[in-house]
Amino acid sequence: MLINKAFDIYQENLVETAILEAITDNHAAIGLYTSLGYEKTDILHYMGQKGKISYPVSQPTS
């Protein structure tokens, strides 16, 4: 598995902490990471934007 290669690199470089991010609905990834000893420590909230983003345009004052 690719993640095992990452573990080898961590050991070679004396890495003590590794951080992973997974989308909440990605149960397969979360299950894999949990089975490898990772713990959920925080939740990152992502707020997406659908459609075009428009910015207000100010008019020059005379």
Per-residue pLDDT band at 53 (split at 50, 70, 90): low
In 3D, which of 14, 8, 10, 4 has the Cα closest to residue 36? Answer: 4
Q: Give pLDDT, residue 9.
A: 94
Its pTM stands at 0.59
Residues 6+ apart with CB under 8 A from 20: 33, 38
Q: What is the pLDDT of residue 43?
A: 86
Whether 33 and 40 have beta carbons less than 8 Å apart is answered as: no
Q: What is the pLDDT of residue 61?
A: 65
